Amino acid sequence: MLRFPGQGHRRPDDVVIGPLDLAARVDEALAVQAVAFGLDPDEIAVRRQIVLRHMTSPGARALGATLRGRLVGFVYGMPNDRAHWWSTVVEPYLHREGNEGWLDDSFVITELHVHPDHQNRGIGRRLITTITDSAEQPRSILSAIDIDSPARGLYRSLGYQDLARRVLFPSAPKPYAVMGAPLPLRRR
């Protein structure tokens, strides 16, 4: 056990989940995303502009997972806006499945990433449940690469169901699944 001044005993791997000023810490966050999800320098530069623009959207919020001040994971999202690029891409796919209504009154999870050294310890679950617990919307939507992955397993266990599959985003080679869940997310 390590003793931290004023904090009594804590496990050395204690990870704190809390509000994140993502615009200020965008480079740290993208470094986590780059190693968790796989981004090359060109993609990081593009994502950087997108993240900074997203954080100016009404209701956009981010949470970080920090270990002794160092960012090891983050999540961000915002109320869905049908005028946003993501929504316009997924809309015809949801429409085809009769699920287009999910685009209204939904909190979108835009990104969720945990550094590989800290995965599979419940941090991703804590990040997404904490951010959606404070959403004003009654449901949440997101997109994930359409494969059996830890991300898809996590989302299913939280109550997210497939709203559309094989969704193609321009410039992304792999198809995505769009998923939606009622809020609050399911607990184990």
By CB under 6 A, tell whether 63 contacts ligand COA.
no
Please report the DSSP string for 51-63 in residue order. Answer: HHHHTTSTT-EEE
Assess 125 for contact with ligand COA (CB under 6 A): yes
Cβ distance 183 to 132 under 8 Å? yes
Residue 8 or 173 having the CB closest to ligand COA: 173
Q: Is 64 in the site for ligand COA (CB under 6 A)?
A: no
Pairing between β-strand 139-145 and β-strand 106-114 as defined by DSSP bridges? parallel
Q: Does 185 bind ligand COA (CB under 6 A)?
A: no
Please identify, among the stretches 83-91, 96-104, 119-127, 164-172, the one whose residues bind ligand COA according to the rule CB under 6 A. 119-127
Closest to ligand COA by CB, 141 vs 154, is 154
CA-to-CA distance for 29 and 125, rounded, in angstroms? 18
Contact with ligand COA (CB under 6 A) among 92, 101, 153, 182: 153
61 binds ligand COA (CB under 6 A): no
Q: Does 144 bind ligand COA (CB under 6 A)?
A: yes
Return the sign of the alpha-carbon dihedral for residues 107, 113, 114, 116. Answer: positive
Determine if residue 175 is left, alpha or beta; phi over 0 gives left, psi from -120 to 50 gives alpha, anything else beta: beta
| Residue 154 in contact with ligand COA, rule: CB under 6 A | yes
Residues 79-108 that bind ligand COA (CB under 6 A): none
Give every CB contact of residue 137 below 8 A, 6+ residues apart in sequence. 79, 80, 105, 106, 107, 183
Q: Is 25 in the site for ligand COA (CB under 6 A)?
A: no
Interface pick for ligand COA out of 26, 71, 123, 135 (rule CB under 6 A)? 123
- Say whether residue 121 binds ligand COA (CB under 6 A): yes
Q: How far is CA 3 from the centre of its chain?
A: 32
Calpha distance 109→72 (Å, rounded) = 18
Q: Contact residues for ligand COA (CB under 6 A)?
A: 36-37, 112-114, 119-125, 144, 149-151, 153-154, 157
